[in-house]
Every structure is written in C-alpha cells, then in structure tokens.
Amino acid sequence: MSFARRNRWLSLIAALLMIVAACGGSDDSDDNAEDSTPSETSAGSNEASGGSGPNVEGIDIQVGDCAVDALDDAGDVVELTMWHALAAQSKTALEQQAERYNASQDKVHLTVIEQGSYDQLQDKIRASLGSDELPALAIAEDTTTQFFIDTRSALPVQACVDAAQYDTSDLLPPWIDHYTVNDVLMALPFASSTPVLYYNKNAFRAAGLDPEKPPTSFAELREADAAIVESGAAKYGLSLKLDSWLVEHLVRRADELLVNHDNGRSARADELLVDTPLVADIWTWLQDEVDNGGLIAVEDKSGQFDHFVAVANGNAAMVIETSAAIATVRALTAGNSVDPGTSGLDAEDVDLSKLDIAVAPMPSFTELTGSSQAGGGGAFIMANASPEEQAAAWDFLEFAMTPEEQATWHVESSYMPNNILAVDEPAVKELWAADPAFAAAYETFENVDPEKARGPLIGPYQAVRDAIEDGMDAVVLAGQSAADGQDISTEKGNKVLADWNERAG
C-alpha cells in the first residue's frame, strides 16, 4: 500500500475510534424495556394528611425515609441551601427569616439563593436533576407537584411529617390538600399567595366610582374601565399581564376544570379543556377590552413588569396580580428603596402622590360558583440530598411554620401565613387593622372547600401554560378569533400532555 493510502487509513481509524469512544457509556437500550415502577407505597402511616380526594390512577409514589434525627449525629455544621424565586420585598423577608433561623440554632447554616423567576428556577432544577448541583430545599411553584412526582426527585414531605410525628392540621388546609397526592403530602406551603385586584382609589374617585366598592365581576370591571377612561382619571382602566394563571383562576372560580380526569386528580390528565364557552368568553372579553381602550395587556415573559409599571406611573388604575406584591407596593409608596432583584422596579420611577393603592379579591368572570385556587410556592425537599441535609431542611421548615415565625413572615413579605394560628398573633392583628390590604388574600380562603381550592395536577405544567398563553396571545394581542385561539391552545396542550404521559411510562 502506498504511503499516502496508509496515512488515510490511519486517519480514518483514528476518527472511528473517537466516535466509538463517544458512543460508549450511553444509556440507551434498544428494546422497549419499560422500567416497571415499584408499587410499594408509603411505609409510614398517613397521619395528618388533609387530603381526602381520590387516588390518581396510574401514579405510584415512593415515600422514602426522612431521617429527622440525623442532625443530632452530624459532626460539623450542616450547610443547607435553599433555592427560591422570590423578589423585591418578599426576597428580603426570606433572607431575614434565614438569618433568624441561623441565629436560633447552631446545627444548620441556611443559605437562600434566588434563581430568577419561577420558570427560570424550574429550568434550573430540571437541568440539575440527578446531579449534585441540586440544593436540599427548593421553593418551587405550586404547579410543579406532578413534575416532582414523575421525576422522582423530591422526598415527599410526608416522610418527615411521619418521622417527626408532626401535626399539619394548623397549616392552611386548602394548600395541604393541594400538595397531597394519593394521600402523600409532597410539599409544605411556604410562599402562599393568590391573585388579587389592586386598584388606585384616587383614580376611582376621579372617575366618580365608589372606592370602597371595587368590581367583583368582569362585567363590573368593564364598567369601571369605561368610567376611568372617559373621565380621564387614567389612560387605561385595567392593566394585565397575559399570564395563564389568569385563565386558570377564572376557570376555578367558575367551578370548571382546566384539564380532564378531574383536573388530573383521578388519573393522568391527557386533555386540555380550554375549548369551553367560558374560556371563549374570557378571551373575547379581553380582546374587546383592548380594542375599546379599557385594557392594556402585555405579554407574559421573564421579568415582565410593565403591567405594574403602568399602574405605578398612573397610566392604568387597576391590575390583577399576586397578593405577595402588597409588601413591595407598600414599601415603594413609603419611599423605601426596594431590592429590585428581577422586578426592575425602583422607587424613583414612581410618582407617589398619585397612588392610593387598595386591594380587593380577584373578580370572577361572572360569579363565584367555584373557589379561589391555592397557589404560590411550596417547599420541596430534594431526594438526592444527604440525610443530614434533608434533616436540616425539615428542621428549618419546622422552625418556619411556627405561629410566631409565620406572623413575622406574613407581615414582612405579605405572603399568606401558612399557620392559621398566626392570625392571632398581635403583629398580624395590628397590621390587618392598619392596612386591610394584607388581610384580603387570607380572607378569601377562610371558608373555602379545600377540594375546590386545589389546583390541577399536570406534569408538563409550564408547557401547558405556554400552550394556553399562545392561544390567549393570538386572540388578545393578534386579534384572532377566540375559536382559533382555543384550537391553538388545545392542539399544543394535548400534544404536550401526550408526550409527557408517554415519557412517564
């Protein structure tokens, strides 16, 4: 063989070796071997689970062990990391709580790390699954319950509850119910909130509206919009971020389902149910309101705060947003500087004199036949953390859930107190007397049926939300018909659900 040819063979072999090396170590299997999920369920007894709902067909949850005593045997201080997506005033409140916890004991040192928005946090968690990048504790969005179940990446809080014989009956029942699947409590409510209506009383007065009677239905919203715009009290009446939870909460308040199989609670959801007259009406309402100038609607994307800013600078009079923003709003109007974090809001941007912000429950579309829905962020303990870290996480949670801590937490962050005994604490009573806005969220849930307040159980929740928003944006921002928008959402949503269910096996 000539030298040139031999060289070429050498190169080829070298290249092939590299490829073979690359393929080695892959975890593929060529047959359709489906891993049979072990069907052992919780070893411990279900003590204080508030859930009385049906078991979800086809889902088996391994509860695992939570070694709550591991802390006693730990030699060094256990470093505990907690990821979260809180911003502005809430973030500050969390950091202060962490400091209080660290000061109160010397076995655990807690560090809280903000990871952007809930979506960004979830992306990060997903990317870190199976690696040791994952922290022991994460405050993930309430919608991620199914995700953690299917990826088997969370240690159900039930394990620690059982091991520590903890009584959860004082914790917010609707939330406990929401986080319980097949009688297993997956997470503890931590950053609990619900959408509320923020409105500027000054604008109401200027428009001739009664500032003590904010709209309770979307029909009344429309009237208020018209009055505000006509009177020139503001350029727009309502300001909204076109977020999927708007649809989700309105659907829940109308006692309708978002996905099939009882919102995913009786079996895995495989159909997105936005093809309903209610959703068509909602989207058409939004579209019309944009057209007649009463509503300014902005797209949902990471770091989107334009809808808040619109109210802050007086362009709009109302906005529907999380109840957890109250603390930040109050801090801004009081002239305090707020850690902008990802909020992008700064006190200097706001003309304080024009604002007299009050809070009311979120309007229903027509009337409240269903319920407000439990939401916010839940505390999930990660499965692949070390026993010491898991014990540390539980220790912190126990600390955080005491009535005193919950009182401070609520007062500083405006998140709902997770422990109902906290409302009897003097700090809370004082605050609510002085500023009823803080009480609004809690009061909407006081007499609610926990089963109705549960949110849907969906594996690929983020993707389903994207599908809903695609349809909503097409209608509200791009002027398509509601039917077209619903088709878009249904098609995408169903595909996403089908893919997930396939992958879940």
* Interface ranges with other proteins (CB under 8 A): 3, 7, 14, 18-19, 22-23, 26-35, 123, 126-127, 129-130, 150-153, 298-299, 301-302, 306, 309, 349, 459-460, 462-463, 470, 473-474, 477-478, 499-500, 502-505
Q: Between β-strands 137-141 and 78-84, what pairing exists: parallel, antiparallel or unpaired?
A: parallel
Q: Which residue lies nearer to other proteins by CB, 231 or 480?
A: 480
| Min dist. Cβ of residue 55 to other proteins (A) | 20
Nearer to other proteins, 306 or 339 (CB): 306
Residue 100 Cβ vs other proteins, minimum distance, rounded to whole Å: 34
Pairing of strands 154-155, 108-114: unpaired
Residue (150 or 395) nearer to other proteins, CB: 150
Closest CA to 321 of 369, 366, 361, 374: 361
DSSP 254: T
Shortest Å, Cβ 7 to other proteins: 6
The half-sphere exposure of 1 on its side-chain side, counting CA atoms within 13 A, is 8
**Under DSSP, is residue 57 helix (H, G, I), strand (E, B) or coil?**
strand
How many angstroms separate the Cα of 212 from the Cα of each of 205, 296, 358? 10, 24, 9
Residue 455 CA to residue 373 CA, distance in Å, equals: 6
- CB of 304 or CB of 366, closer to other proteins: 304
Judged by CB, which is closer to other proteins: 163, or 504? 504
Q: Which two tokens stand for residue 365?
A: 């579309």
With respect to other proteins, which residue has the nearer C-beta, 165 or 302? 302
How many Cα atoms sit within 13 Å of 385 on the Cβ side? 28
Cα Rg of the chain, angstroms? 25
Give the count of beta carbons closer than 10 Å to the beta carbon of residue 95.
Answer: 16
Strands 188-193 and 375-382: what pairing?
antiparallel
**Closest approach of Cβ 122 to other proteins, in Å?**
8
Eight-class DSSP state of 106 = S
Tell me how far, at minimum, the Cβ of 1 lies from other proteins, in Å: 13
Strands 316-322 and 154-155, by their bridges, are unpaired
Rounded Cα distance between 233 and 336, Å, is: 26
Contact 96, 412 (CB under 8 A): yes
Q: What are phi and psi of 23, to 5 degrees?
A: -75, -20
The nearer residue to other proteins, 19 or 103, going by C-beta atoms, is 19
246 backbone dihedrals φ, ψ, rounded to 5°? -60, -50
Q: Is 415 helix (H, G, I), strand (E, B) or coil?
A: coil
CB of 24 to other proteins, least distance (A): 11
**Residue 424 burial (10 A CB sphere; 0-12, 13-18, 19+):** exposed
Q: Is 195 helix (H, G, I), strand (E, B) or coil?
A: strand
Residue 468 CB, shortest distance to other proteins, in Å, is 14
| CB of 11 vs other proteins, minimal distance in Å | 9
Q: What letter would DSSP give residue 171?
A: B
User: What does the alpha-carbon distance between residue 250 and residue 252 come to, in Å, rounded to a whole number?
Assistant: 5
Q: How far is the CB of 150 from other proteins (least distance, A)?
A: 5
Q: Is the dihedral of CA 152, 377, 465, 265 positive or negative?
A: positive
Residue 383 C-beta: closest distance to other proteins, Å? 9
Minimum CB distance to other proteins, residue 279 (Å): 18
User: Which residue number, 287 or 418, has a Cβ lying nearer to other proteins?
Assistant: 287
How far apart are alpha carbons 308 and 296 in whole angstroms?
11
For other proteins, give the closer residue by CB, 130 or 208.
130
Q: Measured from the CB atom, is 150 or 256 closer to other proteins?
A: 150
